Homo-oligomer: A and B are copies of this chain.
Amino acid sequence: MRVDGRLPDQIRQVTIERHYIKHAEGSVLITVGDTKVICTATIEDKVPPFLRNTGTGWITAEYSMLPRATQQRNQREATKGKLGGRTMEIQRLIGRALRSVVHLPTLGERTIWVDCDVIQADGGTRTASITGSFVALVDALHTLIERGTLEKMPLTDFLAAVSVGVVNEVPVLDLCYEEDSSAKVDMNVVMTGSGKFVEVQGTGEESPFTAEELQNLLFLAQKGIGQLIRTQKDVLGRVGEYVGKI
């Protein structure tokens, strides 16, 4: 029995509220249990120097937590004057994951800035950020189509992420903060709608793990991601049907 009464293979309740910030081309509030993240997607009509005059676009992501998103207040990185290693690692992961399902030449020479701001944290903020910002990205791209700027949706597939881990010797799906703190193995998995892996990041700092444990965890992740993608499809409705038509 898990700390919040869930079964080992059960994800937390997920809601995704679209059009959350009125100024952004795409924006959602995703809640996964008590974890809440605002994800926005902003379109900019230029690309980083290395892509200029290539006809190819770019997706880049930034991640931050409000100082009191956590149980103890964290000092702001803006006040410290630099980003921490954890933040950099997470925003690199989000950007890489999203790019894996975007056909960048179809996007054309524009950058999409994805901002993930954690309002309240209870474990799984990086995976919720990926799952939520995929929906914000769909909305932002759909805006471009509606404006006639883009002819077709440059997304090749759906994309979502979940954490898995070994807690009290049991492989479990979608860890809350309390579970995460005591997990011996901790893994973040990003997958596409067609069931392929985009990122697998497993860490056994506390205790190395076997090939069999790895299999069990990947199996759980696959199950959870399937459910998350169903939620994305539900909230996107007809707009979601553009995805993968490329």
A3-11, A111-119, A143-151 - interface stretch: A111-119
Report how far A211 CA is from B189 CA in the complex, Å. Answer: 12
A37-45, A47-55, A167-175 - interface stretch: A37-45
Q: How many residues of A contact B (CB 8 A)?
A: 66
* A14 lies within 8 A of chain B by Cβ: no
- Please determine whether A81 and B79 come into contact, CB atoms closer than 8 angstroms: no
Contact for A96 among B69, B80, B205, B211, CB less than 8 A: B205
* A235 lies within 8 A of chain B by Cβ: no
Q: Which residues of B contact A76 (CB under 8 A)?
A: 62, 64, 78
- Please determine whether B197 and A120 come into contact, CB atoms closer than 8 angstroms: no
* A246 lies within 8 A of chain B by Cβ: no
* A13 lies within 8 A of chain B by Cβ: no
A86-94, A124-132, A236-244 - interface stretch: A86-94
Report how far A200 CA is from B76 CA in the complex, Å. Answer: 29
- Please determine whether B42 and A68 come into contact, CB atoms closer than 8 angstroms: yes
